[in-house]
Structure 1
Amino acid sequence: MPRVTVIIPTYDRPQMLSRAVDSARSAGTDVEIIVVDDASSDTTAEVCRGLPGIKHVRLERNQGVAGARNIGIFESTAQYVAFLDDDDLRLPGSLDLQADALDKYPDAGFVCGAMVMADQNYQATGEIIRARHCGGDVFWDLLELDFPVMPLCTLMRKECFLSVGLLNQQVNSIDDWDIFTRIAEIYPVIVMEDAVGVYRQPTPFSGQGSSARAVQLRLAVRHQLELLRLPRAAEASASQRRASRRRTIKRISENLVWSAVARHLRRGHWRPALVNLRVAFELDPLIGFRPNGYKTAAKKLIGTFGR
C-alpha cells in the first residue's frame, strides 16, 4: 500500500499537468498519484495516457474541484492524502517530510507547511507564505479565517474523512477552508516552517483574481454561519459565537478596503477596487468609522485565499 496519495484535479490544462505530476513523484518515495480529469474537452485524456505510473480517472460530467477531489479520495489507497492543483508544484521530499510528522504525532489530523510564491513561469518571487501559528488546537483560528492554510501545503490523514465527511461541493471555491475547519474541530494540527510547495500566480497582477477573492471572502462570511453550528462551536456561549462572528467580519472587511486602496487604486485598477469596497461595506457598513488596521488584517488573510 502506498504511503501518500496525491490527488490532482484537472480541467482543460494539459500543458500544465506533466510538470505537476513530476513534482508529486519527486515529493515522496512511496506516492500514489491520482489525476482526476473533470470532463475536459481537450487533449487531457491523451496526455494522461502518456504519463506512466499514475491512476487516471475520467469524469463524464464536470463536478468542480471539490467533486473531483472527492472522487480522488474514494480512489485513494494510502494512509495520507494531499491535494495538488494542476498548475502548482510540490517540492522534492516534501511529502516524506510531512508524512514523517504525521507518523510522529498520530493524533494530528493534518500537517501544513510554507508556500513559495512564483510567477507564471514558476520563477520564485522571493515571497514565502507561512501559517504564523504554533499549531495544536486551531479550530477557532480557522473558523475566523485567522489561520492561513493552503491545500497545496497540506497533508491530511485519510481517516479524517471518515470522521468529518467529504468536501462540501456546495461551497466549491472555499471547500478547502471548510474541510480544514471541520477537521480542526476534532483533531490537532501540525505546523511546519519548511516550504513544501510552489504556488504559481498565473498572470502578472491585473486585479481579476482579487475580484474573485472578494467574492470568495463574502461566501466565506456567509458559510461561517454554518460552521458555527458545528458541535464544538454550538457548545460555546452565545457571546463567544457573536464575538467570533464580529472578529471575522471586521478582519475581512478591513482586508478588502486595504486591498482596494493600497493595491488596486494605486495601479489604476478601478473595477476590482470597487468590487472589494462594495463587498466590504456589504459585510460591515460601519467600516468607514474604523480607519486603522487594514494592513495587518490583509497580511493575515492573503495566505488563506491567495493573492
Structure 2
Amino acid sequence: MLSDHTTKPPMVSVVIPVFNAELYLKRALESMLSQTLNEIEIICIDDGSTDDSLKILQEFQAVDDRLIVVSQANAGAATARNLAIEMARAEFVATLDADDYCSPHRLETQLEFLQRNPECVAVGSFAEIVDEYERSITVVTTPTEHSDLDTRAFKYGECAMCGPALMYRRSALIQVGGYREQYNFVEDFDLFFRLAEVGKLACLPDVLYYYRQLPTSICRTKKKEQRILIEKCIQETCQRRGLGLDKKASLPRFLPYEISTSRHYVNVAVQSILGGNPKTAQANAFRALQHQPWHPFPWAAFALSFMPSSVTRSLVQNVFGRDV
C-alpha cells in the first residue's frame, strides 16, 4: 500500500530497531502493516545486522512506502531508537522489537487512549509471552494506574510495563532526552522512571503485544549487566527525586545469573505450566531434554506439564524455586 508522505503527516510513527532478526522480522513488519490504523510511518533502523535483515527491510520498503529504512553501524538499541525518534514526523511514537509482533488494533487503541487523556505521556498494554514458534507461554498483567506502576518498578526492580509495547508522546520523549545509551539492556526501565516524572503513565488491560521469549533474548544473555544497570538506575532516580534508597525494598529480589540453553527451555516450560499452557510446556521441556537428557529439571518440567493446574504451582516452586 502506497501513501503520500508529502501531503499529510502520519498519526503514529513506529520505531523498530533491527539487529540480526531475519527469522522473525517479516512477522513483526506484517503485524504493523496490517494495523487498523493506516496513517502511520514505520521507521526501521538496521543496527549493523550481519544476516539478511537489511535485505528483508528493503524488500518490504519496495512495496509499501510507509516503511523508512536506515542502516547504521552497530551502536545498540537505544541509539537506534533515538535516531528513529529524531526522524519521526508524528506526534505519537510507538515501539516494536524486531522479533515480536502485535495485534492489528494495537496502534488505534493506544492512540485513542492518549488522545482522550492529555495528562498521559505513555501507555502500554498487557503482553502475551510466546515461544519461538508463537506458542502461548503466559499473559503478563500489570497495574494499570500511574502510581501503582511507579511503585512496582521501585519495589521489584523491573520495568512495570512491557517496554516495546508502549506508545509515547514524542514531545515527552524529547523533553526527557530519549533513551540513554549508558543504560543499554535496561533502556526501557530508565526511560520509564524519567517519563513518570513529567506526566502520567498508564497500561491498558488488553493483550495488544506479543513478546517472543528466545534463548538469545537480552533478558537471558545480559542478566549480569542488567542487574548492575538496574541498581544504578534506581539509585540515580532516588537522587533525582530526593528519595532515600532502601535497597531491600528497591532492588530485585533475585540475583540474575547466566543460564544455559537447556535451562532457558526449562524456564519457558515452567512459565507455560503456570500460565495454563501444558502443550507449550511439553514442547519446551522436550527441547530442554535434547540439550541435557540426563538433567532432572527437564524431566521434572515434562512430568509437571501433565498434572492438573490446581496442584502444579506449589510443586513448581518446590522443584525449581521462584526465579524462573
For these two proteins, the number of residue pairs brought into alignment is: 259
Equivalent position of 1:282 in the other structure: none
User: Does structure 2 conserve the Cα–Cα contact (< 8 Å) formed by 1:136 and 1:190?
Assistant: no
Answering whether residue 69 of structure 2 is matched by residue 56 of structure 1, we say yes
Shift in Å at residue 14 of structure 1? 2.5
Shift of 1:15: 3.3
What is the deviation of 1:202?
A: 2.0
Aligned counterpart in structure 1 of residue 185 of structure 2, from 147, 168, 173? 173
Shift of residue 110 of structure 1? 0.4
State the partner residue of 2:33.
Answer: 25
Please name the residue that 2:119 is paired with.
107
Please identify, of 135-144 and 21-30, the stretch whose mean Cα deviation from structure 2 is larger: 135-144
CA RMSD of aligned residues (A): 3.1
Looking at structure 2, the residues matched to 55 and 207 of structure 1 have their Cα atoms a distance apart, in angstroms, of 25
Q: Which amino acid aligns with 2:161?
A: V
Q: Kindly state the Cα deviation for residue 153 of structure 1 after the two structures are TM-superposed.
A: 1.8
Instruction: Give the structure 1 partner of residue 223 of structure 2.
Output: 213
SS in structure 1 opposite 2:146?
Answer: coil
2:168 equivalent to 1:156 = yes
**The residue matched to 1:195 in structure 2 has which SS?**
strand
1:37, 1:57 within 8 Å by CA — same for their partners in 2?
A: yes
User: Take 1:208 and 1:182, find their aligned partners in 2: how far apart are those partners?
Assistant: 22
TM-score (norm 2): 0.71
CA contact (8 A) 2:78 2:181 kept: yes
Counterpart-to-counterpart distance in 2, 1:175 and 1:149? 13
Hey, what's the Cα distance between the residues in 2 that align with 1:207 and 1:91? 21
Do the aligned partners of 2:238 and 2:245 also contact (CA within 8 Å) in 1?
Answer: no
d(CA) in 2 for partners of 1:72, 1:222: 26
| Percent of pairs with identical residues | 22
> What secondary structure, in the 3-state scheme, does the structure 2 residue paired with 1:122 have?
coil
Contact 2:142/2:160 (<8 A) preserved: yes
Report SS of the residue matched to 2:209. strand
1:123-142 superposed matches below 5 A: 123-125=135-137, 127-135=138-146, 138-142=149-153
**Are positions 1:91 and 2:93 aligned together?**
no
Structure 1 CA distance, aligned partners of 2:42 and 2:69?
Answer: 9
Q: Which runs of 5+ in 1 are unaligned?
A: 269-293
CA positional deviation for 1:89: 0.2
Query: What is the aligned counterpart of 2:55 among 46, 50, 58?
Result: 46
Distance in 2, matches of 1:215 and 1:267, equals 26
Larger Rg: 2
Q: Could you list the runs of 5+ residues in structure 2 that have no partner in the other structure? A: 1-8, 271-294, 299-316
1:291 equivalent in structure 2: none
Task: Tell me whether 153-162 or 141-150 shows the greater mean CA deviation.
Answer: 141-150
CA displacement, residues 232-253 of structure 1 (integer Å, 9 cap, x when unaligned): x12x4xxxx133x33113xx13
Q: Which residue of 2 aligns with 1:272?
A: none
SS at match of 1:24: helix
Q: Secondary structure at the match of 1:227?
A: helix
Corresponding position: 1:242 with 2:245: yes
Q: Give, in angstroms, the shift of residue 29 of structure 1.
A: 2.6
Distance 1:151 1:254, change over 3 A: closer
- Out of 16, 25, 33, the position equivalent to 1:8 is 16
Whichever structure has more helix as a proportion of its residues is 1
2:275 is the counterpart of 1:267? no
Q: Distance in 1 between matches of 2:174 and 2:219?
A: 34
Q: Secondary structure at the match of 2:81?
A: helix
Matched, 1:117 2:129: yes
CA distance in 1, matches of 2:25, 2:197: 34
